[in-house]
Chains A and B, each alone.
Chain A
């Protein structure tokens, strides 16, 4: 490649990269500037102030929402890992009637648009009296169909001798899965874990439907309602502070485990 072509390439890539990074930078700076300066902010405010964050904490129970989100996402991820492993193991390593049927059903339900089950699932929550309870945020998400397929694939690739040896030692199926097989499929666990956690952490539509009590709201839900509701009194800085607060944990995790994040997310497309 000629020098000119290469220079153009770098310029294009840099412009593209800046267009992805600058808005985040602007948002952080805006959340740290005095309200009057946000309208003209380009790079840095004349002085850094934390007043938007202080005002945010006094207006909405954001600490509680962070706790709720961590709790809900943590439970959903942990249980989804356990259950998907069990189902994936059964589908790949156990012989039983209806195994193929179940596998077909899993594939079929993955193609089912969520719009069809949204309203009835809300009604189930109402009838079970799970509206405004952690149960509605966790129980429907304890099964992760994509996770099942990932674990099925991973278990399929392991040698049968591993399982046979454990059986001779008297291990049951559950012990085989979690103490013998799990250490051999760490990348799959990381992938399913990241996807389940991100899916749960970023979910907004469902919490908006089933949670009305402010003390039980998840972080993205609280921030959404803060953004569209009147409580920020149209102060942009405070709204942006809550957005930064919501984005920070996942961006920090992303910067540390970038490779895992990218690989996990890409696997959702490549498995199609």
Chain B
């Protein structure tokens, strides 16, 4: 019964992981023979400025994407949790980008972000403001990608928060009403602490998702301008499939995977400490 799983486990997970570790000590262009280089690849990782730029860019992306996603998703979920009509319509609208391929979303936003005549800049001009170089200004480009990624994923997190909000016992709000608490006070003092587990879950899910950022910069900017949107996965992809540095690319992959696991473990530690 479990044999399909075991075969899959050995061929596509266990063997690749071991092979990956082996590759990190070799230089290989996939066509010729493998060449043992000892710790050469590992030394290169630490000296590779561009890779650290890519890690830094990915962290910048997360630093914008995660707070934006949590705040906006929580706000929208709180709005939807009120006694309002057309709840189903709003929920369906927010959720639509979640089901659509990232490629479509990216191509769409490429036009929205267009400097000359994109919808966003035309809107800014009609409001009497200046144009923004959404994708051509190195200081702005990663933020633009973070906004787009938030737009794509937020519907899912609105739903998760809605589920969380519905678990908050009504008595708490009734008690607060008796004491004359305002909407905002109730939200900060009751809602947020009660749905903390959901907030943490969203935090960790968006961290893991954010670290795999690839298709958005690949289609939108190719990593530019001035490598400002080069994400770690995009760099690993380029090392393997543009330069055919298989050993080095595998080293980057292993290192980056290790980094992700460390970050997630640290987050969990902090969260558990905070909760207790």
Interface residues of A (CB under 8 A from B): 1, 5-6, 9-10, 12-13, 16-17, 19-21, 23-24, 26-27, 30, 38-40, 42, 83, 86-87, 89-91, 94, 102, 105-106, 109, 111-124, 126, 140, 142-143, 148, 173, 198, 201-202, 204-205, 208-209, 220, 223-224, 227-228, 236, 239-240, 243, 246-247, 250-251, 254, 258, 261-262, 265-266, 269-270, 272
In the complex, chain A residues whose CB is within 8 Å of the CB of B116: 39
Q: Offer 22 A-B interface pairs, CB within 8 angstroms, sorted by A.
A: A16-B94, A17-B89, A20-B96, A27-B104, A87-B2, A102-B5, A112-B13, A115-B236, A115-B260, A117-B20, A119-B20, A119-B240, A119-B249, A120-B20, A123-B30, A204-B215, A209-B241, A223-B104, A223-B107, A224-B215, A258-B92, A269-B157
Determine how close the nearest CB of chain B comes to the CB of A32; give it in whole angstroms. Answer: 14
B33 at the interface (CB under 8 A from A): no
- A87-B211 Cα distance, complex, nearest whole Å: 30
Contact B201 A269 (CB under 8 A): yes
Known: A87-B4, A117-B16, A140-B8. 10 other contacts (CB 8 A): A20-B96, A30-B111, A89-B1, A113-B261, A116-B20, A117-B17, A250-B101, A262-B95, A265-B95, A272-B201
Contact of A1 among B8, B83, B101, B256 (CB under 8 A): B83
Residue pair A265, B156 in contact (C-beta under 8 Å): yes
Contact B249 A262 (CB under 8 A): no
- Known interface pairs A113-B257, A118-B236, A119-B250; A142-B101 also in contact (CB < 8 Å): no
Of the residues A1, A86, A243, contact of B104 by C-beta under 8 Å: A243
Tell me, in angstroms, the Cα distance from A82 to B15 when the chains sit together.
Answer: 24
Contact B219 A94 (CB under 8 A): no
Contact A204 B103 (CB under 8 A): yes
Contacts of B160 in A (CB 8 A): 266, 269-270
Q: A16-B94, A121-B12 are in contact. Are A24 and B108 (CB under 8 A)?
A: yes
CB nearest neighbor in B for A90: B1
Interchain CB contact under 8 A, A251 and B100: yes
What class of interface size applies to chain B in its complex with A? 35 or more
Contact status B17-A105, CB under 8 Å: no
On chain B, the residues within 8 Å of A202 by CB distance are 101-102
Task: Count A-B pairs with CB separation below 8 Å.
Answer: 229
A119 and B104 within 8 A (CB): no
Contacts of A12 in B (CB 8 A): 79
A257 and B91 CA atoms in complex are apart in Å by: 14
* Contacts A236-B111, A272-B205 given; does A123 touch B94 at CB 8 Å: no
Bound Cα distance from A236 to B235, whole angstroms: 27
If A117-B13, A269-B160 touch, does A1 touch B82 (CB 8 Å cutoff)? yes
Q: Count chain B CB atoms within 10 A of each CB in A19, A113, A115, A173 and give the residue with the most.
A: A115
Q: Which 9 A-B pairs have the closest CB atoms?
A: A120-B16, A90-B1, A39-B117, A117-B16, A116-B257, A143-B8, A113-B257, A17-B93, A120-B19
The answer to whether B97 touches A20 (Cβ under 8 A) is: yes
Q: Contacts A27-B108, A83-B4; is A270 near B103 (CB within 8 Å)?
A: no
Interface of B is mostly: helix
B interface residue numbers (CB < 8 A to A): 1-2, 4-6, 8-9, 11-13, 15-17, 19-20, 23, 30, 76, 79-80, 82-84, 89-104, 106-112, 116-117, 119, 122, 151, 155-157, 159-160, 163, 183, 201-202, 204-205, 208, 211-212, 214-215, 218-219, 222, 232-233, 236-237, 240-241, 246, 249-250, 253-254, 256-257, 260-261, 264
CB-based contact B214/A205 at 8 Å:
yes
Bound CA span A89–B90, Å: 38
Inter-chain contact B253/A119, CB cutoff 8 Å: yes
> Which listed residue, B4, B8, B96, touches A21 by the CB 8 Å rule?
B96
Contact call A9/B19, Cβ cutoff below 8 A: no
A121 in contact with B112 (CB, 8 Å): no
CB pair B253 A227 closer than 8 Å: no
**Distance of A49 Cα from B53 Cα, bound (Å):** 45
Chain B residues closer than 8 Å to A87, beta-carbon distance: 1-2, 4-5
Query: Chain B residue with minimal CB distance to A247?
Result: B104
* Cα–Cα distance between A265 and B151 once the two chains are bound (Å): 16
A122 contacts B103, C-beta separation under 8 Å: no
* CB nearest to A19 among chain B residues: B151
Question: Are B117 and A40 interface neighbours, CB within 8 A?
Answer: yes
Taking CB atoms, residues of chain B closer than 8 Å to A102 are 2, 5-6
